[in-house]
Amino acid sequence: MTRKERHIAIIYKRGKSLAKEIGHEMKIWLEKKGIKVNLRQNVDESQQLEEGIPIRISPKTEAVVVLGGDGTLLSVARLLSNSSIPVVGINIGGGMGFMTEVCMEARYEVLERILDKDYEIERRIRLLAEVKRGDKLVFQQTVLNDAVINKAALARIINLRVSIDNDYLTTYKGDGLIIATPTGSTAYNISAGGPIVYPTAEVFLLTPICSFTLSNRPIILLDTMEVEVELEEKAGEVTLTCDGQVGLRLMPNDLVIVKKAPVPLNLIRTPFNNYFDILRSKLKWGQN
């Protein structure tokens, strides 16, 4: 009986020589154990769209190892938007990230655990952001952190009419609106005064940006709900940005629809740091 071939993908931060070097070392280590390795740098999405560069991760892949920081992991999450392949992040910049929580010194121990299937999975909800212009769908993107609608620096206050499951909520007046997952609650959301939410909670958040109405506060919604945001007729320079990395210039009367994506991100949970360790470290809680 032939032994079943095993596949691991390693994706390293584009333009980071140290990440590339470590990726090659890990590839050699895995291949000595009979593992087939797909090693590549993370995708340049603008180049991929312009040049049609194929992006493929084999469905046989049992885990994806990301070498970089949280930004690299966000781009990989988009690459795997319809995939349940588990992902683990190894932070190349030193310390830990909110998602790339494994330090470099622990990388081979993590690989051993993956090969032994000795790990737990955290299922992180993702959102699907769509833009409708009239009857036409002009944009669709899966996001792990957040979908942000905001105005240009010198543009006037924008009015965003928000409905939840077709029920009118309010019209936000201000610089914009953040629609964030629990994973993204520690990104732009926290800077705008939104709450920190435990990353596996089955909810998402609406957080206004510099609201003109002081009574407009962040709201936590069930992840089964659908949010519709309609731009006013006179909206000027307004942009939808997904995970801070890809986006679209919006037009007056565009309708932005955000709902739970069908496939969550399966994040490999390691025993090295718990979520509260990461919060204390990244937010410098308890430090003088």
Mind telling me the catalytic residues? 70
Q: Looking at residue 265, what DSSP letter applies?
A: E
Bridge-based pairing state of the strands 238-242 and 265-269: unpaired
User: Amino acid letter at 157?
Assistant: I
Give the DSSP letter string of 114-150.
HHTT--EEEEE--EEEEEEETTEEEEEEEESSEEEEE
Taking Cα atoms as reference points, which of 142, 75, 101, 84 lies closest to residue 264? 84
Query: Sheet harboring 158-164: ordered strands across?
Result: 136-143, 127-133, 255-260, 227-231, 158-164, 167-174
- The owner of tokens 């955290």 is 122
Radius of gyration from C-alpha coordinates of the chain = 20
Q: Taking a C-beta distance cutoff of 8 angstroms, is the pair 38, 65 a contact? A: no
End-to-end, the C-alpha distance of the chain in Å comes to: 62
